[in-house]
Every structure is written in C-alpha cells, then in structure tokens.
Amino acid sequence: MNIKLITVLLLFLSLNIFGQSIEYKLQANSGFFRFLGESAEETEQINYNLDKEDGYTNNPYGNKYGLSYGISANITKITKKNLRLGIDFGYEVLISRIDIKAVWQHADNINETISATGKSNLNSSFLNLFPSIGYQISNSFFNIFLDGGIDFGYCLNSIEKGNAYSKTREYETYRDRKTVELDVRPRIQIGIQKNKVGGYIGYSKGLTNYKSGYIGGTNEAYSEMIRMGITYKLLN
C-alpha cells in the first residue's frame, strides 16, 4: 500500500520539470460526509446486551451528513499555459450519521425491542494523497482554478459512537468498525486565489465498498464528501 502511494507521489512530482512556477500551500477544510448505496440508511436500531452493558448499531453506515474536518499541504506546478499539476497530502476525520429509532435489548430473561431516540456517528480518520491535474484562469486581481484527480484515503481507524434514550435509560455504543484499508475517490474542486489567501469547494465519491466483506443481503456502502477549504500560500 505505501509503495503504491509513494509511486504516485513521485510520478506527479517528476512532472514539475515541465512547468514554470511552483506554489506551496497549507490548507484547512471542513465539509459534509455520508455514505451512499443500498446499505446506507437514514434510521437504524441499537442491539444492546443488558448483562454486559454493551451494544452496537445494527448498521452504522448512515446517509445523513456529518460535519467533517481536515488539514493538508499542497504543492502545485503551474505551466506557461496555465496547466496545473498538483499533489495534496493531508489528514481528515470524516463523520457520517444515522438516526436511532429503536433499541433491541436482551438479557437472560429479557428480549424486547423498545422505542428510543438518538444518533450514531461513524468517525473515520484518514491519511489522504490527492494527485491532481487542472487549469487556471489568471488576471491582475485573482486566479480561478479547476482541479480533478483521484483521492487515495488510507484509513487509520473507524469508530462507531452511538447514543440513544428510551423512557427509562440511556444506551451508548463504542465499537471498532474499520473494514477498508484504502478508499479510492474520484475528486473535483474549483477554487479562487488572491495573493496569498484562497478558498475552494470540492466533491468526491468513493469507489470502495465499505461492506464488501459482509455476508447475506445487499451490502453496498460508498463514501461521499463535500469539502470547503481555505488555503494560504507559503512560497511560489
């Protein structure tokens, strides 16, 4: 996995020899993340063992947006014809949400489903590598650019955190949900730069099925991310 990422990085950096100038930027982003596919749900239930005081969300892959955030460093080569060859390396926490409407609670002498209200978040941490190619339009006031490429997200961890209330008590879940090592996401973004400060908005949709190892039924859950970021140019 690391060899593949390093190979992609070296390939794009080697293209800089054809360019005219290089920009170095620091970036911070936020945005909205969720899952798509037939297995992505709006509501779900918590399965809870009363004897062990332990539970989990039956299906944690929610199609409701959660607020996500990240930071990255960017190197972009701009050629004489305004062609952009860039690469980002960053860290992101992507959070999806699913609403909890019920709890199935069970013990030695209890087996019942009760109404409850709450939510379950799936918090996933990634190291991202984003090689891109694009084009920019420049004038004396600002630059506008459009970039596209493939976002390679290496998953560090994926944790389910759930919380729900019935009429009588509270239920909490905390469980490791990591199922993928690499999420491959086609990504496009448009941005503007004036002097050292800029911003962008982007969209990516994953090709990696987070439920590919599940057995029985329909198992499809793919990532979707809407990003909004600010940039600060260090050098050029």
Q: What is the pLDDT of residues 14-58, one digit of tens each?
A: 555 555 788 999 999 999 999 999 999 999 999 999 999 999 999
Mean per-residue pLDDT of the chain: 91
Q: 136 burial class (0-12, 13-18, 19+ CB within 10 angstroms)? A: middle
Sign of the four-CA dihedral 69, 75, 78, 83: negative
Write b or e for each residue in 166-195: b if 16 or more Cβ atoms lie within 10 A of its Cβ, otherwise e. Answer: beeeebebebebebbeebebebebebebee
Assign residue 56 the CATH number of its domain. 2.40.160.20
Return the pLDDT at 14: 56
Return the pLDDT at 220: 95
Q: Mean pLDDT across the stretch 83-108? A: 96
Return the pLDDT at 182: 97
Residue type, 110: I
Q: Mean pLDDT across the stretch 209-217? A: 83
Return the pLDDT at 141: 87
Q: How sure is the predictor about 214, in pLDDT bands with cuts at 50, 70 and 90?
A: confident
Residue numbers of the domain that contains 131: 2-235
CA-CA distances (angstroms) from residue 207 to 67, 108, 123, 152, 210? 21, 43, 19, 10, 9
Predicted TM-score (pTM) of this structure: 0.88
Summarize pLDDT for 104-153 with one digit per residue, the tens: 999 988 999 999 999 999 999 999 999 999 999 988 788 999 999 999 99
On the CB side of 70, how many CA atoms lie within 13 Å of its CA? Answer: 27
- Asked if residue 216 has pLDDT above 90, the reply is no
Q: 94 burial class (0-12, 13-18, 19+ CB within 10 angstroms)? A: buried
Q: Is-contact 106 50, C-beta < 8 A?
A: yes
Among 4-13, 34-43, 195-204, the range scoring the smallest mean pLDDT is 4-13
Summarize pLDDT for 155-196 with one digit per residue, the tens: 999 999 999 999 999 999 999 999 999 999 999 999 999 989
Going by their DSSP bridges, the two strands 111-138 and 64-78 should be labelled as unpaired
Element (H, E) at 170: strand 170-176
What's the number of domains the chain is made of?
A: 1
Neighbours of 12 (CB within 10 A): 20
Q: How sure is the predictor about 71, in pLDDT bands with cuts at 50, 70 and 90?
A: very high
Residue 192 to residue 146: CA distance in whole angstroms: 9
Using the structure block, give the residue that is written with the tokens 């993340």: 33
